[in-house]
Amino acid sequence: MSTIVLTTFNARYTHTSLGLRYLFANLGDLKKDCQILEFVIGANIPECAEKILSKNPSIVGIGVYIWNALEVQHLVKLLKQIAPNVYIILGGPEASHLPHRVAYDEADFIIQGEGEIAFKKLCQKILNNEAINERFIRAEPVDMRLIELPYDAYTDHDIAHRYCYVEASRGCPFGCEFCLSSLDRLVRNIPLEKFLSALEKLWQRGVRNFKFIDRSFNLEIKTASKLLDFFLAKNEPYFVHFEVIPERFPPELCERIARFSPASLQLEVGIQTLNPQIAKAIHRRINMSKIEENLAFLQQNTKAHLHVDLIIGLPGESVESFADGLNRLYSLTQCEIQIGILKKLSGTTLSRHDKEHKMIYSHLPPYEIMQNDLISFEMMQRLKRFARFWDMVFNSGNFKNTVTHLWENEDVFSGFLHFSDWLYMQTESTWKISLERLAKLLMQYMLTYKKLEKSYVQEMIKNDLLVVPNRKIPSFLKEEKIVQKVSQKKIEQGNMRQKRHAFEKG
């Protein structure tokens, strides 16, 4: 039995909640009476409530995020119906900022901000029957030098089957209006030796997948260099992910990044828009000459897997401007280009553009843009499908060579938009499309609209699919004798998506 249960709904089973583990690590004497229970969005809420209440808790702490806001709402309501005497405490980004667009009226307390210390103090007061006068508890940023690190709370099962998230710092020095990280402009570091010691302990326990959640990994070059050195010194395969600032790659970082082997290093490069006027309007600084220089270096001189972000629907950005950005970015690097949809998060200053640009957002999580003064609702729907199909066809790495024929003799955006519109007409869905069906539809499009020879298309698609060794080839690709031309060099570490992209840099 546990006096305190910490719980949340992760976006996927392979994810873990670093926030819950931070709360657990800093409970002091209460830690022995606390247990972490994690679920996945889409789970059966009554079954989740049953598992929580089977621990007979006095307090249930729940992490609330944009992806699980509705599940948490249902869980809170059910827990209060079944066990009204159990105290429910909410925290996390979606609970921390007002207005709440999902009702959490039945929660007893809501911690706003970083909860490592505030949660412990609140639990102590509840268990000691002390009077608590405020429902909303404002938690100040914690001292990263003093709090306990959470990594011992990763179980052996987590290490074997799930991602282990880590952070060397908190905060972001930039003020991008769409991002909650811009609210914490002071970057606070965990003492480096303390953090490296924690990383080494995780390594000794068998962790080989490290996902850093720092918003600006390469902000402090000395720290970034030492963290890269930590991984470069390892002789076993591993996968490490960093979010990086696109303009900041001095020689000491470039030299280190160039030494990583294929499928071991992933860099998420936050660009969002290549239109300087749009970037300025949302308080995002961009230096295009530096971005172009650094992307060219990373593409041509390293084996790092790049994941570059663009956003659809930014205030003032037209379809034509977004298209120009995508075309330009593709010309700079053939990495993954993650196309996101603008979201209006409580706590950000994005709402100041609503009137001028007639911004209309969904009232349900994740609060995506529906239309604005430059992009109609109908066009926004087409662009959302574009983004989804782009991820399935281009970013997945399943069709690395075949996909380039979609925009042959035209620009990338126009070529893929035509394919996206056609694909939706065939499927009437952007979800649950099997790889085999997608390959067959891609071949049909190539034959019908690109007028390519059937045997040529079959060979292209089959060779693309066979980048993953031992993959089953659909029967419709076996009509011709096809010679496999791709390398099947085995890469032991990294997720499957990275493996597919890695052959280009191997």
SS3 149: coil
pLDDT at 487 over 80: no
Domains along the chain with CATH numbers? 4-139 (3.40.50.280), 163-375 (3.80.30.20), 397-506 (no CATH)
Separation of alpha carbons 128 and 139, rounded Å: 20
The pair of structure tokens assigned to 29 is: 């004497």
Q: Is 283 exposed, middle or buried (0-12, 13-18, 19+ CB in 10 A)?
A: middle
Tokens of 89: 């405490």
pLDDT for res 128: 96
- Per DSSP, 271 falls in state E
Instruction: Render pLDDT for 364-404 as a digit per residue (tens, 0 to 9).
Output: 999 999 999 999 999 999 999 999 999 999 999 999 999 99
- CA dist 417 and 423 (Å) reads 10
On whether the pTM is more than 0.75, the answer is yes
pLDDT of residue 472: 87
| Per-residue pLDDT tens digits for 153-172 | 999 999 999 999 999 999 88
* Residue pair 267/242 in contact by the 8 Å Cβ criterion: yes
pLDDT band at 506 (very low <50, low <70, confident <90, very high): low
DSSP letter (8 states) at residue 476: G
Q: How far is residue 15's CA from residue 21's CA, in Å, rounded to a whole number?
A: 13
Amino acid at site 194: K
Which amino acid appears at position 198 of this protein?
A
pLDDT band at 490 (very low <50, low <70, confident <90, very high): very low
Q: pLDDT tens for residues 185-241? A: 788 999 999 999 999 999 999 999 999 999 889 999 999 999 999 999 999 999 999
Quick one: pLDDT band at residue 271, thresholds 50, 70, 90? very high
Pair 324, 274: CB distance under 8 Å: yes
Confidence of residue 429 (pLDDT cuts 50, 70, 90): very high
Contact 201/246 with Cβ under 8 angstroms?
no
Handedness of CA 10, 12, 18, 23 (dihedral sign): positive
Q: Between residues 63 and 182, which one has the greater pLDDT? A: 63
DSSP lists the bridge partners of residue 211 as 165, 241
pLDDT digits (tens, 9 = 90+) for 339-371: 999 999 999 999 999 999 999 999 999 999 999
Averaged pLDDT score across all residues of the chain: 93
Give the separation between CA 339 and CA 313, rounded to whole angstroms. 11
- Paired sense of beta strands 336-341 and 305-312, if any: parallel
pLDDT in tens, 96-131: 999 999 999 999 999 999 999 999 999 999 999 999
- Percent of residues, the chain, with pLDDT higher than 70: 94
Going from the C-alpha of 31 to that of each of 25, 51, 102, 109, the distances in angstroms are: 7, 19, 30, 20
State how far the Cα of 383 lies from the Cα of 376, in Å rounded to an integer: 10
**Tens-place pLDDT, residues 439-480:** 999 999 999 999 999 999 999 999 999 988 888 888 888 754
pLDDT of 181 reads 83
